[in-house]
Chains A and B, each alone.
Chain A
Amino acid sequence: MMEKMIFGRYVPADSIVHRLDPRSKLIFVFAFICIVFLANNFVTYAILTVFTFFLIFVSKIPLRFFINGLKPVLWLILFTLVLHLFFTRQGHLLFHFGFIKIYEEGVKQGIFISLRFMNLIFVTSLLTLTTSPISLTDGLETLLNPLKKIKFPVHELALMMSISLRFIPTLMDETDKIMKAQMARGVDFSSGPLKDRIKAIVPLLIPLFVSSFKRAEELATAMEARGYRGGEGRTKYRLLLWHLPDTTSLIVLIFITAILTILRS
């Protein structure tokens, strides 16, 4: 059941998006999230959507990965869509049946909101799908470096992030293993009343916590034994390199922002 999780997964491929510097990708995605909110009419939404699909095409990752990422929030999208349909009371009346009234503006807003969701999710999935977790944390650490000035523990945060990312699959495997061991002892995780199901989680959670504590202790010992003394004075094994495509991607983004600002109504 754990193995079906595809959201937030890295899919290795050889594409220009994969080769980009994680820093430029992070800036790009962050900026994109902001400019999505600039769009407010058909033209601007169309430009955004076409641009998103262009990025997906360039990344060489099959579209179904993105659709998969969309699935968990599908209900949220439908919910907002329906809310907008029924509760916006502006523009022409399109449809009237009993107390249900659907207005032109409602349809428009509903579609816009759904498109906004889709664009946001596709572009953020693009980031996680094309960037390995390790370079993602590397990029984040460098980007956050200025925060050191205000005593923000950037290195510690990045270390914690990379350790947690590293251990997500390990913990998933472990969860799966313990789950199976308990199922073999007669625990039923997938059926029965809610109360029983919550109770069934105890034999899963306790061993998981216990082994996490143990693992943390072992990891800390192993790190100290290898001379880890905190972030001060460490050199880097993986160097981030900024190339021409990175600059280009940001220029393209500025360009799109300009167009959106001009065309928005």
Chain B
Amino acid sequence: MDITLEQVEYKYQAGTPFERRALHDINLHIPQGTFLAIIGHTGSGKSTLLQHLNALLQPTAGTITIGDRTVTSGKKEKQLRPIRQKVGIVFQFPEHQLFEETVEKDICFGPMNFGVAKEDAQKRAKELISQVGLPEEVLEKSPFDLSGGQMRRVAIAGVLAMEPEVLVLDEPTAGLDPRGRREIMDMFYHLHKEKGLTTILVTHSMEDAAMYADEIVILQHGELKQKGSPREIFSAPQELMSLGLNVPDVVRFQYLFEEKFHLKLGKTCLTIEELTEALKNVELRGVRT
């Protein structure tokens, strides 16, 4: 399912004295199966953009094409519901959306809303609970008895249970410990590859963007500033820093290293392994350290 945004603009509280423009002239094409990372400063419009991708917000101008459906301003709520099944959103701190008595019921809630039979939904819940790394016993527990990290996993399972074709993630690892972070991101990446999902990740972590994304989009003040592969984007670290953004530690190290020794490593390294390889081939001639 391709997603195309054409000249999308969004204003909060349009027509009131509190009107505020959050997005302006966004043009973006996301082909099926892409892993796209959206990065930008706080308040750059990332989360607003993301809510357009499953029609929770409708653009005040421009069009969005999701699969074979188009969303423009003023579409009726009823016509938008089928989109929500195809595009699953994992919101920031998704554990806040849990409400059922048992974990199993909560996971089944989404699919059953879209007309999946109870037995099928329960089967999905069983599969998913192990996929998100929790034991099956958890299914019978109340979601409010779980730890924060476990609740997050249950909430994610609840979104995955709808079997979306597009998965939209709004900082899915915020507030998790480093290991939990890694596990969850790896799980998303695995799903992405295995099921051929289109994944859109909003993140503050440049490491995650560099490691997982095929493509990175940078937003600033509601406008699309840059777009390209991680290597392209991170090849100009100074530009990113001028936008007030960080670069992955690896890239930063390489940048400072190249500056200090006045040499170039050939390519921008995105992982520690790549950097180690590149550094092996460097001969430090005539340089006093």
Choose the segment among B66-74, B83-91, B171-179, B271-279 that binds chain A (4+ C-beta atoms closer than 8 Å).
Answer: B83-91
A11 to B77, alpha carbons, bound, how many Å?
32
The 8 Å CB contact of B96, one of A65, A188, A207, is: A207
In the complex, chain B residues whose CB is within 8 Å of the CB of A206:
99
Taking CB atoms, residues of chain B closer than 8 Å to A65 are: 17
Whether the Cβ atoms of B162 and A185 lie closer than 8 Å is yes
Contact B81 A186 (CB under 8 A): yes
B263 at the interface (CB under 8 A from A): no
Q: Which residues of A contact B88 (CB under 8 A)?
A: 184
Q: How far is B54's CA from A182's CA once the two chains are assembled, in angstroms?
A: 12
Whether the Cβ atoms of A203 and B56 lie closer than 8 Å is: no
The answer to whether B16 and A202 have CB atoms under 8 Å apart is no
Please choose the segment from B32-40, B106-114, B129-137, B182-190 that sits at the chain A interface, where 4 or more of its residues have CB less than 8 A away.
Answer: B106-114
CA distance in complex: A3, B57 (Å): 13
What residues of B have a CB within 8 angstroms of the CB of A202 in the complex?
Answer: 99
Among A26-34, A173-181, A239-247, the stretch that binds chain B is: A173-181
Residue A187 interfacial (CB < 8 Å): yes
Interchain CB contact under 8 A, B81 and A188? yes
Q: Are A185 and B99 in contact (CB under 8 A)?
A: no
Which single residue of chain B is at the shortest CB-CB distance from A184?
B89
B12 beta carbon closer than 8 Å to chain A? yes
For A185-197 the 0/1 string (1 means CB < 8 A from B) is 1111011000000
Residues of B89-105 whose CB lies within 8 A of A: 89, 91, 94, 96-99
Distance (Å) between the CB of A201 and the closest chain B CB?
11
Question: Given A177-B96, A191-B78 in contact, is the A183-B159 Cβ separation under 8 Å?
Answer: no
Which one of A6, A178, A186 contacts B84 once the chains associate, using CB atoms below 8 Å?
Answer: A186
Contact A4 B77 (CB under 8 A): no
Determine if B230 is an interface residue (Cβ-Cβ < 8 Å). no
CB of A260 to closest CB in B, whole Å: 34
Q: How far is the CB of B226 from chain A (nearest CB, A)?
A: 28
A261 within 8 A of B: no
Q: Is A221 an interface residue (CB 8 A)?
A: no
Identify 10 residue pairs between A and B in the complex whose beta-carbon atoms are under 8 Å apart, listed by A's number. A65-B17, A181-B91, A181-B94, A184-B88, A185-B109, A186-B113, A186-B162, A188-B77, A207-B99, A211-B96
List residues of B whose CB falls within 8 A of some A CB. Answer: 12-13, 16-18, 51, 54, 56, 77-78, 81, 84-85, 88-89, 91, 94, 96-99, 109-110, 113-114, 144, 158-159, 162
Q: A184-B54, A186-B81 are in contact. List 10 more A-B contacts (CB 8 A).
A: A3-B18, A177-B96, A181-B97, A185-B84, A185-B97, A185-B158, A185-B159, A186-B162, A190-B77, A202-B99
Residues of A that sit less than 8 Å from B by CB:
3-4, 6, 11, 62, 65, 174, 177-178, 180-188, 190-191, 202-203, 206-207, 210-211
